[in-house]
Chain A
Amino acid sequence: MLPSWGILMNFIPNSTIKSNMLKETGLKDIDELFSDIPKQIQINNLNLSKGLSQQETEQKLKEIANKNNSMPSFLGGGIKPHYISPAVKSIISRSEFYTAYTPYQPEASQGFLQAMFEYQSMISEITGMDISNASLYDGATALGEVALMCSRINQKKTFVIPQNISWEKKSVLKNYAKGPEIKIREISYNTKTGKIDLDKLKKNIDNDITGVYIENPNFFGVFEDDVEKICKIVKDNNSVFVVGVDPVSLGIAKSPGAYGADIVIGEGRAFGNPMDFGGSSLGIFACKNEFLRQMPGRIIGMTKDFDGRRAFCMTIQTREQHIRRGKATSNICTNEGLCALTAVTYLAWLGGDGLEELSKINFEKGQKLAKMIGSINGFEKRFTGTHFNEFVIKSKINPNKINKDLLKKGVQGGLILDKCYPELKDCMLFGVSEMHTDKDMEKLVSTLKEVSHV
C-alpha cells in the first residue's frame, strides 16, 4: 500500500493567485483563454490517475524498479557497464549545466560552450581527426548522417558497409538513406577471421561508391588490422573512408586518423554515461577540416568578445536548420549535450594515461575471459582475429538453453547471434569490461561448466 501522506507539489506557483491575475489581465475566467478552440474539440479533463505527492511517487517507482534485476551481465553488442567516478556525477549534477537550453545566448552560456569546445578537442585528439561536432543522438544515427554527408561531398550514391554491423545500425542507416536514395552495399566477412573480406571489398568498389564504412573493433569484437590496405582501396577509388570506433579501445588502438580515415564516428556512451537501458547515448562525429561545411550538428568555436577577451559560441551555423531550413545539412536541433559534457568530464578525470590504462584493462579482460570460456569443453572462440573486449563463442549446446540456465543462477550470458546472423548458429557475443572482477568471470565460467554438463 502507498502511504497516503505527502506534500503535493505541482510546480505551478501562480495556481493560488490565478483569480487576481485573471482580473489584472482583464479576463473573466480561465476558459476565456481557450475560447478560440472550437467547442466540439474542447475537453475538460484527462483520464489519467490523480497526482501523487513526492513521497508517494518515490514509493510507487521503487515498486516498479524492484521488478528489474540488474544482475552481473556478460552481454556484448556494443554496450557494457563502465566505472563512473562520483566526481563526474557531481559535476554533471550542477544544474547550471543540466537545466540550460542549447546555448543560443553565448554570453550567458560560456561554461557549457567552453566544455563543448574541450569535448570537441578531446574527441579530435583520440580519433586523430581535425575537428568534431558537439554530438549527435547516438552511434547509429551518426552512421545514417555520415552516409548523407559522404554523398554531399562527392555526389555519389552507393554507401558500403560491412555485413557484420549491428542489425539496429543497419536498420537506422537504411532509414536515413531512403530520402536521398543512397544505396547500401554490404561486404561479407571472412568466416574464419571475422574481419571484413578484402577480396570482396575490392570487387565491390566502383565509380558510384560515395563512402566505405568499417568498424574497429567490429561488431564481433574483432580488430580490422588490414587498415592500410582498406584505406588504399578506398582512396584509390576517390571514395570517403569512414571508421566507426569503440572509443574505449582508442587508448591502445591506433587512431583512425593515423591510418587515413576521413571521418570517424562512434557510440560514446561508455565515456561516463550509465547504460540506462540503452539511452542516454552519445553520437561521436569527427572529420577532417576540409569537410567542415558538410558536417551535421552543432559546432562550437573559439573567438573573442568585443573587449578582446577569449570567448566561445556556436559557429558555422549556416549549415543548420534554424538558418537554412530545408537546405540544412541535417535536421538535428536538440543533440546529446549533457552526455557530451559527461564524456569530457570523464576524459578529464581519466587523463591520457588513464584512458590508455582503461583501454588496456578492457583488452586484457577480453583476452582472459575468451581463453577461460574457450577452455571449457564444448565452447570455442568462433573467429581467429584479435579481439578487444567483446568476442564470439560457439557452443555445442543451444545458447538459448544455456542463457536460461545461467539466468536461474543469477548471471546474464552472452548475446545470441543467430536471429540476426543465421549463419552463426549456436554463437554468443560476450562482452566484458573493467567492471567485471576475476570472481565474476570465474562465476560465469563455473556456471557455464555446470549448465553445459547437465
Chain B
Amino acid sequence: MYRSAVYDEPLLNEIESYKKVYEVRQKNTLPNSIQRKEKICISDLDETQIVRHFLHLSQMNYGIDSGIYPLGSCTMKYNPKICEEITRWDNFANTHPYQDPSTIQGNLQIMYELERMLCEISGMDYFTLQPAAGAHGEFLGMLLTHAYHEFNKDNQRDEVILPDTSHGTNPASATMAGYKLTEIPSTQDGTVDLNILEKTLSEKTACFMLTNPNTLGIFESDILEISKLVHKAGALLYYDGANMNAIMGKARPGDMGFDIVHLNLHKTFATPHGGGGPGGGPVGVKEKLEKFLPTPRIIKDKKGNYDFDYNCPYSIGKVKEFYGNFSVLLKAYVYITMMGGDGLKEASEIAVLNSNYMKKKLVESKKYEMPYKQLRKHEFVLSCDKLKQEKNIRALDVAKRLLDYGLHPPTIYFPLIVKEALMIEPTESEPKNELDKYVDALIKIADENPEVVKNAPNNTPVKRIDDVGATKTPVLTWKMK
C-alpha cells in the first residue's frame, strides 16, 4: 500500500533560530536616502536545520523519479542523470554570456549543432534557441508571423485561427502579440473541419495554429489539405510542438507544410520540468522567415570557428536576455547525442505503443468512454461522464483517488470538448508492469464505493485541498497569515 511521508513541516520563518543575530546594522557608505534601515526578516538558521527542512519538503513531493506521471500533453518522461551531471561541469556552468567568443567555442558548438539536430528532427530550415518555454516560443512565433506579413505589406492580417482543442497557451500567446482570435469547432472525428477552416480563412488571417497529433492524441490526416488551404489564403501555419513525442522519425512538421514550429525541450527531449521550469522552447522556421529570427544567430566560419552574428537587419530583436536557457539546451543536446536518430524514433514508437496498449485495455473495460476516433498517438482522452451520471464520480475524484494508489493522475478537464476528460500520456519511459498497474487502478476505482473515491486522497501528506477558500482569502506570504 502506498504511503507518502507526512511532516508537520513548519515554515522557514517558524523554525527557531539559535544563531547570533547582529544587533546593530553594519555600517556602509551608501547615500542615506537609499540605505536600508529595517532588518530583513529572514531567519538565520544553521545548515542542519535548512537541509532537514527542504529534505522533508522534497519527501512530500511526487516527481517522475517517484513513479508514473502520465499528464497528457506534458510528456513526463525519464530525465537521464547524465544530463544533469554534465550541465554542472565548471567549463559550462561558469561561463559568462559576454565572454570573448574565442573562449566559449564549446558552448557555441553545442548551440550550433543543436539547432541543426532540431532542424533534422522537425524538417525545418532554421532554428533559434532563445525562448525559455513552449508558450514563450509561441509568442515568438506570433512576433515572426507579424514581421513576415509586415515585410510583405500585408498589414491587414490581424486574426489568428485555432481549433477548439488547442492548448490554453495558444490563444493567450496570440492575444499577447496583438491578434484577434477565431476558434473553430472540430469535426465529429475530433479533427480540423476543412469546410469550416476554408470558410474562416480570409485576407485577414495571419496564422492558423495547430498541434499534430492534436490534444485528443489524433493525427490530423488532412494535414496536407489544411496546409494547402492556409497557404492559399496567404496565411502561415504554426505548429505547437508540445506533442512532438508522438512522431519523431515517423513524420516531420516541416514536411507537413508548417512554417513555424516550437519544440518543448522539457517534454520531448527529456530535460526535467523542474517543478515548473526552467524549460526550453526553441523555434524553427522555413527559409522565408529566417531573416526575422531573434539575434544573435550562431555562425560557423570556414575554419570551423563559431561566432555570434548580430548583423540581422530584419530580425525581430530579442525575446529573452542572452541566448536562451543554455543549461536546458545542453541537456537536450546530451540526450539527442545519446539517443541518436534511431533511438529517438524508437522513443516515439514505444510512446505511441504504450498509449495504445493502455487505451485498448481501458476501452475494453467499459468503465470509461472514449469519444472520437480510435487510433491514437502518444496520448488518449477518456471521459468519466458515464461515471458521473451513474455514481456522481467526477474526473477530479478519479484523479484524487489515483493518488492513494501512489500514481500521478492524468491531465483532467482538457481538452475542453470532452466532458469529464482524463488525458493520459504514458510516454516511452514506463515499463509494461507500470502501465498494467495504472490500468488496473483506473478500473478498480470505477467500481469502488463512490464515497471512498469522493473522499480521496487519504494517503497523501494532506487531504483534498480547499482551493476555493485559497482564492477567496488569499494568503500569499507568511506575513499575510
Q: B34 to chain A: which residues have CB within 8 Å?
A: 216, 223-225, 227, 253-254, 259
> Measured between alpha carbons, how far is A301 from B472 in the docked complex, in Å?
11
In the complex, which of the residues A38, A120, A331 contacts B139, with contact meaning CB atoms closer than 8 Å? A331
Task: Count A/B pairs, Cβ under 8 Å.
Answer: 676
> Measured between alpha carbons, how far is A248 from B103 in the docked complex, in Å?
27
A99-B272, A275-B95, A303-B465 given as contacts; is B477 within 8 A of A120 (CB)? yes
B425 → chain A closest CB, angstroms: 11
Scoring A residues 39 to 81 as 1 if CB is less than 8 Å from chain B, else 0, what string do you get? 0111111111111111001101100111111110101011111
Q: Is there an interface contact between B172 and A331, defined as CB atoms closer than 8 Å?
A: yes
Q: Is there an interface contact between A27 and B408, defined as CB atoms closer than 8 Å?
A: no
Indicate if B266 sits at the interface (CB-CB under 8 A). yes
A434 → chain B closest CB, angstroms: 15
With both beta carbons as reference points, the residue of chain A lying nearest to B143 in the complex is identified as A175
A129 → chain B closest CB, angstroms: 9
Indicate if B105 sits at the interface (CB-CB under 8 A). yes
> Measured between alpha carbons, how far is A100 from B86 in the docked complex, in Å?
20
> Measured between alpha carbons, how far is A94 from B54 in the docked complex, in Å?
9
With both beta carbons as reference points, the residue of chain A lying nearest to B279 in the complex is identified as A334
> Measured between alpha carbons, how far is A35 from B352 in the docked complex, in Å?
12
Q: Is there an interface contact between B61 and A96, defined as CB atoms closer than 8 Å?
A: yes
Identify the stretch in A202-210, A234-242, A309-317, A391-399 within 8 Å (CB) of chain B at 4 or more residues.
Answer: A309-317
Q: Is there an interface contact between B463 and A97, defined as CB atoms closer than 8 Å?
A: no
> Measured between alpha carbons, how far is A126 from B477 in the docked complex, in Å?
12
With both beta carbons as reference points, the residue of chain A lying nearest to B111 in the complex is identified as A277
Indicate if A17 sits at the interface (CB-CB under 8 A). yes
> Measured between alpha carbons, how far is A328 from B25 in the docked complex, in Å?
43
Q: Is there an interface contact between B326 and A65, defined as CB atoms closer than 8 Å?
A: no
A274 → chain B closest CB, angstroms: 4
> Measured between alpha carbons, how far is A333 from B219 in the docked complex, in Å?
24
> Measured between alpha carbons, how far is A35 from B251 in the docked complex, in Å?
11
> Measured between alpha carbons, how far is A363 from B30 in the docked complex, in Å?
9
> Measured between alpha carbons, how far is A335 from B178 in the docked complex, in Å?
22
A22-B353, A94-B54, A106-B465 given as contacts; is B92 within 8 A of A68 (CB)? yes
Q: Is there an interface contact between B276 and A64, defined as CB atoms closer than 8 Å?
A: no
Q: Is there an interface contact between A351 and B44, defined as CB atoms closer than 8 Å?
A: yes
Q: A68 to chain B: which residues have CB within 8 Å?
A: 91-92, 95, 103-107
With both beta carbons as reference points, the residue of chain A lying nearest to B104 in the complex is identified as A68
> Measured between alpha carbons, how far is A122 from B42 in the docked complex, in Å?
7
Scoring A residues 98 to 114 as 1 if CB is less than 8 Å from chain B, else 0, what string do you get? 11111111111111101
Indicate if A376 sits at the interface (CB-CB under 8 A). no
Which residues of chain B from 279 to 328 have any CB-CB distance to chain A below 8 Å in the complex? 279, 281, 295, 316-328
B214 → chain A closest CB, angstroms: 12
> Measured between alpha carbons, how far is A39 from B37 in the docked complex, in Å?
71
> Measured between alpha carbons, how far is A235 from B278 in the docked complex, in Å?
36
In the complex, which of the residues B28, B86, B321 contacts A169, with contact meaning CB atoms closer than 8 Å? B321
Q: Is there an interface contact between B133 and A48, defined as CB atoms closer than 8 Å?
A: no
A91-B55, A313-B470, A348-B42 given as contacts; is B325 within 8 A of A281 (CB)? yes
A114-B57, A275-B94 given as contacts; is B338 within 8 A of A101 (CB)? no
Q: Is there an interface contact between A279 and B428, defined as CB atoms closer than 8 Å?
A: no
Q: Is there an interface contact between A75 and B98, defined as CB atoms closer than 8 Å?
A: yes
In the complex, which of the residues B21, B41, B178, B249 contacts A181, with contact meaning CB atoms closer than 8 Å? B178
Q: Is there an interface contact between A99 and B79, defined as CB atoms closer than 8 Å?
A: yes
In the complex, which of the residues A51, A61, A305, A367 contacts B462, with contact meaning CB atoms closer than 8 Å? A305
> Measured between alpha carbons, how far is A137 from B130 in the docked complex, in Å?
11
Q: A279 to chain B: which residues have CB within 8 Å?
A: 132, 278, 320, 322-329
| 20 pairs, CB–CB < 8 Å, chain A vs chain B | A11-B428, A48-B117, A68-B95, A79-B97, A93-B84, A97-B61, A107-B465, A108-B460, A110-B462, A115-B57, A117-B11, A130-B477, A130-B479, A131-B480, A179-B176, A275-B95, A278-B321, A279-B329, A301-B475, A334-B266
> Measured between alpha carbons, how far is A68 from B326 in the docked complex, in Å?
14
A57-B82, A102-B273, A111-B61 given as contacts; is B168 within 8 A of A322 (CB)? yes
> Measured between alpha carbons, how far is A42 from B76 in the docked complex, in Å?
26
A382 → chain B closest CB, angstroms: 18
Which residues of chain B from 172 to 195 have any CB-CB distance to chain A below 8 Å in the complex? 172-179, 181
Which residues of chain B from 346 to 374 have any CB-CB distance to chain A below 8 Å in the complex? 346-347, 349-350, 352-354, 356-357, 360
Indicate if A200 sits at the interface (CB-CB under 8 A). no
Indicate if A439 sits at the interface (CB-CB under 8 A). no
Q: Is there an interface contact between B476 and A131, defined as CB atoms closer than 8 Å?
A: yes
With both beta carbons as reference points, the residue of chain A lying nearest to B132 in the complex is identified as A137
With both beta carbons as reference points, the residue of chain B lying nearest to A293 in the complex is identified as B474
Q: B96 to chain A: which residues have CB within 8 Å?
A: 73, 75, 79-81, 275, 277-278, 412
10 additional A-B pairs beyond A46-B342, A351-B45, beta carbons within 8 Å, are A43-B255, A101-B273, A107-B461, A107-B462, A137-B277, A179-B142, A250-B36, A253-B34, A323-B168, A352-B21
Indicate if B247 sits at the interface (CB-CB under 8 A). yes
Q: Is there an interface contact between A300 and B57, defined as CB atoms closer than 8 Å?
A: no
In the complex, which of the residues B93, B172, B336, B349 contacts A274, with contact meaning CB atoms closer than 8 Å? B93
Indicate if B63 sits at the interface (CB-CB under 8 A). yes
Q: Is there an interface contact between B340 and A352, defined as CB atoms closer than 8 Å?
A: no
A45-B341, A96-B66 given as contacts; is B40 within 8 A of A415 (CB)? no
Q: Is there an interface contact between A41 and B54, defined as CB atoms closer than 8 Å?
A: no
Indicate if B200 sits at the interface (CB-CB under 8 A). no
Q: Is there an interface contact between B33 and A49, defined as CB atoms closer than 8 Å?
A: no
Q: A292 to chain B: which residues have CB within 8 Å?
A: 474, 476
Closest 5 CB pairs of A and B: A337-B276, A278-B322, A51-B340, A338-B274, A179-B178
Q: Is there an interface contact between B338 and A331, defined as CB atoms closer than 8 Å?
A: no
Q: A341 to chain B: which residues have CB within 8 Å?
A: 274-275
Indicate if A140 sits at the interface (CB-CB under 8 A). yes
Scoring B residues 36 to 68 as 1 if CB is less than 8 Å from chain A, else 0, what string do you get? 111111111101001101111111111111100
> Measured between alpha carbons, how far is A332 from B223 in the docked complex, in Å?
28
B205 → chain A closest CB, angstroms: 16
Identify the stretch in B229-237, B387-395, B429-437, B442-450 within 8 Å (CB) of chain A at 4 or more residues.
Answer: B429-437
